[in-house]
Amino acid sequence: MKYFPKLIALAISASAPLLASAGQWEGPLNGIVNNVINQGYESYAISSKTLQQRTDELCTTPSRQSLHSAQEAFKENVLDWQQVQWLNFGPVTYFMRYYAFEYWPDKKGVTQRQLRALTQGDPSVMDAPRFWTSASIAVRGLTAIESLLYHPDFEPLNSANHCQLLTRVTKHHLESADAVANQWKEGKAEDWVFDEEGTGFDPEKVALEQFLQQWIEHMSAVKDAKLETPIGYNSRENLKLAEFYRSDLSLQAMQKNLTSYREIYHAGSPSLYDIAKQSNPALATQFEQQLIENVKLALQLPIDFFHTSKSKEDRIALATPLVKSISNSQSYLSSLVTSLGFQIGFNSRDGD
């Protein structure tokens, strides 16, 4: 998902307050890796395989039913992606996989243009071993698959070229999801942090610090890019900027993100929540309650929230409590991680 920035180098301060002995971050770090990331990518890889199988079936026996089955598999895969979308760190950074999994927002219609160009060429070129390593990120993942399944320019039911392109994209997408899932199983978060200055550091703390930086940035993007921008909360409304709007998954995707945040907070023994309760119980509880409130408010939004049937004024009125709640969550999380001794960098999300 290209909206989020590349990883920011985080400063490791020798004066950062330490609340316990070395190894204190092993619980939350391993808990997040095992219970959120590994399980999340395993589910994502499994549903990517189902999606690939359903698109194969669609092209083998094209029918309204096989198209519907492929679309349902796509929706499941998108929601599995939302579980791990918050973290642009580790194996997903290889070959621009993070941005290839979801090329969004695509304000200039790059995905459609490049897909159309591919349908006009020889489909066998996509079978070359090096094709996908040099292919545009716009045609390598869920954004491209959504276009091929839902955009009126593409007709997998009636066009063999369109269907061949669809199956090749889903095959590559599965290979990428499998690769990330397997690399997380075989490695650990500490493998992805480095003591560049050679001064010595706690790799568990630095890895967790990266996780927290990514979490804060994702929370900001959920509020800004997924909610405020498409409904014109602070500017002009453009519902086509909503995430996965063609497949009508914009609201469900956001709900999945907000639900996953509590899983991050409570993963491990001790969890980040457990450690925070010991050092700052009031703030730890405030953040917990705000995460619960986020989910509650998101689930209260009507299923047609992003549909054109609602007015801009109605949408903003419905969204305002959730916007404020997520803003409070950002403030609590930033205060919490700072109080625990983490050095969180600025959030630079401008541009594409």
| pLDDT tens by residue, 17-32 | 434 455 899 999 999 9
- Residue from 246, 206, 227, 255 nearest 79 by CA: 255
The two three-digit tokens of residue 263, written as one number: 């899983």
| CB-based contact 172:138 (threshold 8 Å) | no
Predicted confidence (pLDDT) per residue in 48-92, tens digit: 999 999 999 999 999 999 999 999 999 999 999 999 999 999 999
Confidence of residue 45 (pLDDT cuts 50, 70, 90): very high
Give residue 2's pLDDT: 59
Separation of alpha carbons 239 and 304, rounded Å:
12
The two three-digit tokens of residue 89, written as one number: 């760190």
pLDDT of 16 over the 60 cut: no
Which residues on neighbouring strands pair with residue 271, listed in sequence order? 268
pLDDT of 344 over the 90 cut: no
Look over the chain and give the mean of its residue pLDDT values, rounded to a whole number.
92
Give residue 1's pLDDT: 67
| CB-based contact 104:82 (threshold 8 Å) | no
Predicted confidence (pLDDT) per residue in 234-258, tens digit: 999 999 999 999 999 999 999 999 9
pLDDT of 12 over the 90 cut: no
How many Å separate Cα 146 from the centre of its chain?
A: 16
Predicted confidence (pLDDT) per residue in 274-295, tens digit: 999 999 999 999 999 999 999 9
Predicted confidence (pLDDT) per residue in 212-230, tens digit: 999 999 999 999 999 999 9
Predicted confidence (pLDDT) per residue in 328-339, tens digit: 999 999 999 999
CA torsion, ordered 79, 84, 87, 92, to nearest 10 deg: -100
| CB-based contact 231:312 (threshold 8 Å) | yes
DSSP state of 86: T
Q: How many CA atoms lie within 13 A of 198 on its CB side?
A: 0
pTM of the model: 0.92
pLDDT of 11 over the 60 cut: no
pLDDT of 298 over the 50 cut: yes
Task: Please list the alpha-helical segments (H only) found in 187-280.
Answer: 203-221, 229-231, 250-266, 272-279
Q: For each of the domains in the chain, give its residue range(s) and CATH number, in order of start.
A: 36-186 (1.20.1420.20), 193-339 (1.20.1420.20)
Predicted confidence (pLDDT) per residue in 168-212, tens digit: 999 999 999 999 999 999 999 999 999 877 778 899 999 999 999
The DSSP code sequence of 160-219 is HHHHHHHHHHHHHHHHHHHHHHHHHHHS-GGGG---TTSS---HHHHHHHHHHHHHHHHH
Whole-number Cα distances in Å, 108 to 35, 98, 104, 317:
37, 20, 10, 29
Tokens 């490695």 sit at which residue?
Answer: 187
Helices and strands in the chain: count of H runs, count of E runs: 14, 0
Separation of alpha carbons 201 and 317, rounded Å:
48
- Residue from 99, 90, 102 nearest 32 by CA: 90
Could you give the 3-state DSSP secondary structure of residue 16? coil
Predicted confidence (pLDDT) per residue in 113-172, tens digit: 999 999 998 888 999 879 999 999 999 999 999 999 999 999 999 999 999 999 999 999
